[in-house]
């Protein structure tokens, strides 16, 4: 495998190309600009198309069109732009078109700030658009993980025929790390038949792709999707479990927050505090790891997020079911989590490490 030292946004862009992405449309917004900038020259190299849309709304709808041709399509943005894309993401879900959306998230609400934050958890997992659909949400914590998740994101999008979201904060988008780049994927076209307006798969009959359906058909579609969300997706849930065996305190954190928390956990462990961590890699489906903890040992859960108030907390509480206290610590508005702050917050909650 090829190793390269890359910036987060560019690593995602290159992984997308290698994962088969051949269309990108997007609109400039900090802190994700390196994704469109990279793809503006990279996609034409591999016979793909890049369009700088006139807005996020237009861009997601260009992706909707491109996805309908059987091509793997991508768009990226940050919080304010993802809000605008909500329309198109909902239409992708309704028309059952596969596409990947990247959110390099920043401080909110509103125009918020351009500095990194994890303030879009609820938008990503609960309400990516109107109408009650769900999208799988991947949350990498390293650039290698970002590469691997992006590389395979279309497989999920195409299997389940809908949008897939990669949620990564602006820190990870901006840092540089060494990544192993997987090889270019050979794409199959035969499995695109149901949504592909091209005739590449040999189809000769007329084809309709529609975001509007007669009521009974729409209910049937929603029922089928509900089965997929509730029965199939839990099997795709992923989490990293760290030092849980004897843990009396369990940190739950994803993305950059998990990286900062891990440093604190290592220091606290060195001082004898029995603490571990669950790091969800899929935010939706939300992994069941918290539910299965041994609550005869666990004295507390600490939800650490780079947003205030904590947004993942509801999902955590649904699994804790009152069996131990749930604490939260975070920074917000583009103010970053730092080692000292996280260490002190955990130390205070656990009463150890001082």
Q: Which residues bind another protein (CB under 8 A)?
A: 22-23, 25, 49, 51, 53-55, 57-59, 61-69, 71, 73, 87-88, 91, 95, 197-199, 204, 206-212
Whole-number Å distance between alpha carbons of 74 and 78? 14
- Nearer CB in complex with another protein: 23/284: 23
The least CB distance from residue 178 to another protein, in Å, is 34
132 sits in which H/E element: none
- Nearer CB in complex with another protein: 164/301: 164
For 135, phi and psi rounded to 5 degrees?
Answer: -130, 145
Quick check: bond before 118 cis, omega within 30? no
The token duo for 176 is: 């540089």
The least CB distance from residue 128 to another protein, in Å, is 15
- Nearer CB in complex with another protein: 11/29: 29
Whole-number Å distance between alpha carbons of 240 and 145? 12
Whole-number Å distance between alpha carbons of 32 and 141? 16
Whole-number Å distance between alpha carbons of 307 and 108? 9
The least CB distance from residue 201 to another protein, in Å, is 13
The least CB distance from residue 95 to another protein, in Å, is 7
The least CB distance from residue 41 to another protein, in Å, is 16
The least CB distance from residue 22 to another protein, in Å, is 7
- Nearer CB in complex with another protein: 91/343: 91
For residue 199, the tally of other CB atoms under 10 A from its CB is: 10
Whole-number Å distance between alpha carbons of 48 and 242? 40
Whole-number Å distance between alpha carbons of 138 and 167? 6
Whole-number Å distance between alpha carbons of 94 and 68? 13
- Nearer CB in complex with another protein: 91/121: 91
Cα dihedral 238, 243, 245, 251 in deg (nearest 10): -70
Closest CA to 19 of 100, 126, 108, 92: 100
- Nearer CB in complex with another protein: 13/25: 25
The least CB distance from residue 103 to another protein, in Å, is 20
- Nearer CB in complex with another protein: 9/95: 95
């Amino acid at each position: 495998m090829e190793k390269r030292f890359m910036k987060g946004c560019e690593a995602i862009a290159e992984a997308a190309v290698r994962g088969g992405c051949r269309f990108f449309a997007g609109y400039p917004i900090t802190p994700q600009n390196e994704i469109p900038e990279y793809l503006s020259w990279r996609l034409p190299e591999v016979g793909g198309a890049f369009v700088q849309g006139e807005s996020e709304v237009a861009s997601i709808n260009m992706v909707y069109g491109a996805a309908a041709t059987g091509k793997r399509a991508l768009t990226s943005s940050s919080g304010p732009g993802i809000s605008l894309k909500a329309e198109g993401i909902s239409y992708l879900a309704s028309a059952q078109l596969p596409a990947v959306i990247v959110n390099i998230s920043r401080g909110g609400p509103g125009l918020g700030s351009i500095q990194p934050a994890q303030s879009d958890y609820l938008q990503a997992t609960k309400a990516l658009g109107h109408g009650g659909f769900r999208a799988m949400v991947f949350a990498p914590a390293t650039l290698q993980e970002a590469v691997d998740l992006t590389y395979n994101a279309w497989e999920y999008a195409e299997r389940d025929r809908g949008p897939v979201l990669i949620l990564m904060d602006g820190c990870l988008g901006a840092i540089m790390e060494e990544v192993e780049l997987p090889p270019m994927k050979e794409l199959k076209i035969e499995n695109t038949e149901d949504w592909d307006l091209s005739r590449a798969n040999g189809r000769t009959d007329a084809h309709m792709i529609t975001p509007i359906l007669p009521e009974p058909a729409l209910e049937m579609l929603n029922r089928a999707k509900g089965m997929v969300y509730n029965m199939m997706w839990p099997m795709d849930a992923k989490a990293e479990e760290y030092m849980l065996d004897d843990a009396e305190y369990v940190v739950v954190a994803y993305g950059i927050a998990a990286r900062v928390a891990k440093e604190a956990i290592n220091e606290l462990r060195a001082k004898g505090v029995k603490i571990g961590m669950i790091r969800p890699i899929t935010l939706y489906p939300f992994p069941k790891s918290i539910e299965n903890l041994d609550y005869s040992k666990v004295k507390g859960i600490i939800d650490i997020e780079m947003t205030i108030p904590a947004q993942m907390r509801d999902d955590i509480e649904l699994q804790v079911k009152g069996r131990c206290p749930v604490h939260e610590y975070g920074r917000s508005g583009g103010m970053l989590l730092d080692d000292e702050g996280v260490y002190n917050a955990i130390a205070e909650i656990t009463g150890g490490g001082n």
